[in-house]
Chain A
Amino acid sequence: MSIIESYRPQRFRLMFFQGLIVAMLLVLAGGLAYRQIVRFGDYGERERLQNQRRVLVPGPRGNIYDRENRLLVGNRSRFAVTLYLDELRREFRREYIEVVRRYRESEAAGELSRSDRPSPSQLEQISRAQVVQRYLDEVNRLLSRDEKVDMNQLNRHFQQQLLLPYVLLDDLKPEEFARLIEELPVQSPLQVYTSSTRYYPNGSAAAHVLGYVRATDEVSGDEISGEDLKTYAFKGTVGRDGLELQYDPLLQGETGAAIFRVDPAGFRVNPPLEKHAPRQGERLNISIDLDLQMAAEKAIAQFETLKGAAVALDVRTGEVLVLASKPDYDLNDFSPRLSQASAQKIHETGAWTNLAIAGVYPPGSTFKLITSLAGLRSGLISVDGFTVDCEGTVRIGNRNFVCDKSAGGVARHGVISLRDAIALSCDIYFYKVGTTIGPDAMAGEARRFHLDQPTGIDLPYEVRRMLIPDPAWKKKVKDEAWFAGDTANMAIGQGDVGVTPLDMACFVASLARGETTTRPTLLHDPNRPRQHTEPIGLPREQLEAIFEGMEGCTTRGTAKIFNTPTYGIPGLRIAGKTGTAQTSRDGNKINIAWFVCFAPVEDPRIAMAVAIEGDTPGEQFAGGHYSAPVAQAVLKAWFEKFQRAAAAPFTVH
């Protein structure tokens, strides 16, 4: 028997090593199973996050139309020629090699030293810029231009927005777009890209109402899958003022998205894995009547340098027909972006402010309507039983108060009652009424019509600093006593009283309905029901007397220009009230010309308030001469439409 044959292995040693190997294999298998089965989801998710990217494309904003479906704000197409950098990977690589080769040759020829050679990342940037410039030169050739690549911008785009097309030229003219469409090969990395920008067919019309937008990088993609992926977004827009801001969520388009697979360098490698088309935002039909709006703006603009505002409401529904403020700005200047020069010009002219909702003025004699209502409701005066002998001046407290005429002189109206006092705007009469009923009665009546509050119109930046003063307010805020002179001033809408043109328009609309509240809205609803609010609480004949006084204002009183051939509107009975108030600006007295009205007297449909600021300190500035013509322009346009609608045959479909 040989030694080998006689050898018997130590069995336990063999078993130990076998067991060890089995255990190690089990550990390996367990580890593999753990990673492949238990951690499968985690690794899959990590892989997904690492090699997928999401691109968000904001949807175009919704259009805005006036109450007759005329386009006020739309979108115009904006053409750009873009370059998809991810299709140029090979060209970038080839160019890089070529650039390096040229540097080496220059170094070999002794033209450059080794230290002059840029770093590899700089060489990459140079080669990318050269490739892109070649494509841009092709575009330059087609469009007869001489544009150069902005290297910094290109690098920024490459680092941060590689998946988005790189814009070579933006805002192309239609002819340029057409030429590129025809001349660029279909498969070229150069493509014509379209986006939208806001378009305002009527320029500055209703600029403060419509508002404007600004570009934003914040594009909402929360409701689109892949929110955990690295996301690139095209610039979107967000409302900054006016309805664009107020109804921004409604107008915002639905964001579109595409999810791409990318390679380790971040380049797109396939068609999108998932794609959602962007959708346009909702359309908005607003209550503005473009014809009336333009009539108002044109009428205010005739005063050239003067500022002013006009508001017209549908008496029955509170829908705003006109909301004009001058000076204003051309909304197209904001699209696609406002230049520094245009912004400076708007700032200098004060056109940023929407005077209709942010211009707080003393209402002047238009407040006499409140004084009249307060007097009649207090029972201390009556329509015909309360008369005053106007001799042009009256002493109240230790001051002499005069009866101002529009021309600046002193009026002597003689014995006068409510109707004529309203028609002729007799200050002495209303001083007497004010001192008879007291400031609290007037303040209370004004507050019943909510003249101390914002109207709640669906526009941003409506001011809250309108003011109806009373003795308690004066004591609290100014720590001063209330004097009889304060009461007299308040009775004619002077002193600390401050309201906006929109407040006054709402007041007149409420008065025309015999109620106390009008809630204005800029949304148009053809089936909107008539507003019903708290009644004023005056007998019909007393209310009629006020209306008669207001009608007298436009036929024989301070707004009798409505009774002239130039400004008359045959067939339309107008109830109005003028006002001229003084306010202090930069230490100077500025006059505010007011006119408030409603029409037709027999069936009120439209209510208006117009306020025009004077620009010359101390200048006499009557509402009948400045504001009434603005109202006349709107009323004339409205009445023509009203008559046409009434004459139109009724058709049953």
Chain B
Amino acid sequence: MSSKRFDQARPFLSLGIIVLAWLLLPVGVKSFLRVTFFELQAPVQVTASYVRDLQEFWADRSHSKDELIEAAHQLRHAYAGYEFQAQQAEAQQAEIARLEGLLRLPSNPKYRFEPARVCRRDLSGWWQQLTIRKGSNYDLTVGAPVVYSGGVVGRVREVRLYEADVDLVSSPRLRLAATFENDTRPVSYQGGNNPPLAPARGIVEFVPPDIVAYSSTPLRLVTSGLGEFPPGLTIGYVQRLETSPDGLFQSGEVSLDRRLTELTEVTVLVQLPPD
């Protein structure tokens, strides 16, 4: 009878012993185990990501030639547009460099663009993060800005050997100094508490009272350039601002791009040392 009771209690006893052992382990050992776990887990995630890429590749091969020709047409149009914009940007860069030279200003920080595939998305009520398929093996650093064609993706939070975690712009752990388009005064942007499957949102605070936002003409919130991020990158759009009870500032919700939840490829901006 007593041995039967012991058998029934054995799982709980084992769990208790394990928890106790974990609690008593030195911090260094715990830290080592944690890092080892993630480093060992990384190849699995990376492999799964490559498998998904392979799956997409074969799915793409199933398209007909007509579809591919049509896609190539669209790509050529887009390419022509981007080519023109790239030329304009180049001319503007040259002008900026000339003015900086005239005014003897220090040049803006320069970045190396490091494209990276997204191998895991963690979009829950608690976490808003991506795992990308590059890490310290590509010299990524903690705090590096991550962007995509729609603007800000987030900021690198943790770098491992083969992968890195990125705090999404929708994460409450991410705060940025932002400005509204055509305004120079800095405001504070912070990711919101986003429930799963809901459109991602953030919060903008410390907005001067004279700035007005309408739902018909939302204001574009962009990076200020005062931190790690280069200026002018889209964070999101603000449709309504509310004055705080003390009348000093306004605050409001920032609608973030829906594509953030579907990203497959992002670019990490790795800052280059000054010349």
One digit per residue, 1 when the CB lies within 8 angstroms of any chain A CB and 0 when it does not, for chain B 185-226 equals 110101000000000000000100000000000000000101
Residues in A whose Cβ lies below 8 Å from that of B224: 178, 182
Contact yes or no, B248 A196, CB < 8 A: yes
In the assembled complex, the CB of B167 is this many whole angstroms from the nearest CB of chain A, namely 10
Residues in A whose Cβ lies below 8 Å from that of B248: 60, 75, 77, 194, 196, 280
Contact yes or no, B177 A196, CB < 8 A: no
Instruction: Judge if A38 is at the interface, Cβ distance under 8 Å.
Output: no
Interface of A is mostly: mixed
Contact yes or no, A277 B228, CB < 8 A: no
Q: Which of B177, B246, B248 has the most CB of A within 10 A?
A: B246
Instruction: Judge if B16 is at the interface, Cβ distance under 8 Å.
Output: no
Instruction: Judge if B245 is at the interface, Cβ distance under 8 Å.
Output: yes
Instruction: Judge if B76 is at the interface, Cβ distance under 8 Å.
Output: no
Instruction: Judge if B160 is at the interface, Cβ distance under 8 Å.
Output: no
Residues in B whose Cβ lies below 8 Å from that of A174: 185-186
One digit per residue, 1 when the CB lies within 8 angstroms of any chain B CB and 0 when it does not, for chain A 267-284 equals 000000000011110000
In the assembled complex, the CB of B101 is this many whole angstroms from the nearest CB of chain A, namely 23
Contact yes or no, A277 B175, CB < 8 A: no
Instruction: Judge if A247 is at the interface, Cβ distance under 8 Å.
Output: no
Q: Which of B173, B185, B186, B190 has the most CB of A within 10 A?
A: B186
In the assembled complex, the CB of A546 is this many whole angstroms from the nearest CB of chain B, namely 50
Instruction: Judge if B150 is at the interface, Cβ distance under 8 Å.
Output: no
Partner of B246, one of A177, A184, A186, A279: A279
Q: A174-B186, A181-B186, A182-B228 are in contact. Are A277 and B246 (CB under 8 A)?
A: yes
Q: A174-B186, A175-B186, A175-B226 are in contact. Are A181 and B246 (CB under 8 A)?
A: no
Partner of B249, one of A182, A183, A194: A194
Instruction: Judge if B172 is at the interface, Cβ distance under 8 Å.
Output: yes
Instruction: Judge if B227 is at the interface, Cβ distance under 8 Å.
Output: yes
Residues in B whose Cβ lies below 8 Å from that of A179: 177, 226-227
Partner of B245, one of A177, A196, A278: A278
Instruction: Judge if A211 is at the interface, Cβ distance under 8 Å.
Output: no
Residues 273-320 of A at the B interface (beta carbon under 8 Å)? 277-280
Instruction: Judge if B247 is at the interface, Cβ distance under 8 Å.
Output: yes
Residues 187-203 of A at the B interface (beta carbon under 8 Å)? 187, 192, 194, 196
One digit per residue, 1 when the CB lies within 8 angstroms of any chain A CB and 0 when it does not, for chain B 162-175 equals 00000000001111
Instruction: Judge if A242 is at the interface, Cβ distance under 8 Å.
Output: no
In the assembled complex, the CB of A76 is this many whole angstroms from the nearest CB of chain B, namely 9
Q: A175-B186, A175-B226 are in contact. Are A181 and B245 (CB under 8 A)?
A: no
- How far is A177 from B186 in the complex, measured between Cα atoms in Å? 8
Instruction: Judge if B241 is at the interface, Cβ distance under 8 Å.
Output: no
Total residues of chain A contacting the partner, CB 8 A: 25
Instruction: Judge if B260 is at the interface, Cβ distance under 8 Å.
Output: no
- How far is A601 from B229 in the complex, measured between Cα atoms in Å? 66
Contact yes or no, B245 A280, CB < 8 A: yes
Contact yes or no, A279 B227, CB < 8 A: no
Instruction: Judge if A253 is at the interface, Cβ distance under 8 Å.
Output: yes
A75's nearest neighbour on chain B, judged by CB, is B248
- How far is A179 from B174 in the complex, measured between Cα atoms in Å? 14
In the assembled complex, the CB of A281 is this many whole angstroms from the nearest CB of chain B, namely 9
B227's nearest neighbour on chain A, judged by CB, is A182
B174's nearest neighbour on chain A, judged by CB, is A186
Partner of B188, one of A63, A181, A253: A181
Contact yes or no, A278 B249, CB < 8 A: no
Q: Which of A184, A186, A277 has the most CB of B within 10 A?
A: A186
Instruction: Judge if B159 is at the interface, Cβ distance under 8 Å.
Output: no
In the assembled complex, the CB of A193 is this many whole angstroms from the nearest CB of chain B, namely 11
In the assembled complex, the CB of A62 is this many whole angstroms from the nearest CB of chain B, namely 8
- How far is A277 from B248 in the complex, measured between Cα atoms in Å? 12
One digit per residue, 1 when the CB lies within 8 angstroms of any chain B CB and 0 when it does not, for chain A 50-78 equals 00000000011001000000000001010
Q: Which residues of A contact B (CB under 8 A)?
A: 59-60, 63, 75, 77, 174-175, 177-179, 181-184, 186-187, 192, 194, 196, 253, 256, 277-280
Would you give 24 A-B contacts (Cβ < 8 Å), ordered by A? A60-B247, A63-B247, A75-B248, A77-B206, A77-B248, A77-B249, A174-B186, A178-B177, A178-B186, A178-B224, A178-B226, A181-B176, A181-B188, A182-B224, A183-B228, A186-B190, A192-B188, A194-B248, A194-B249, A253-B246, A256-B245, A277-B246, A278-B246, A280-B248
Given A177-B186, A182-B176, A277-B245; 20 other pairs, CB 8 A cutoff = A59-B245, A59-B246, A75-B248, A77-B249, A175-B226, A177-B177, A178-B177, A178-B186, A179-B226, A179-B227, A181-B188, A182-B227, A183-B228, A186-B173, A192-B188, A256-B245, A256-B246, A277-B246, A280-B247, A280-B248
Nearest 8 pairs between A and B by C-beta?
A: A182-B227, A280-B247, A178-B177, A178-B186, A178-B226, A182-B177, A277-B245, A181-B177
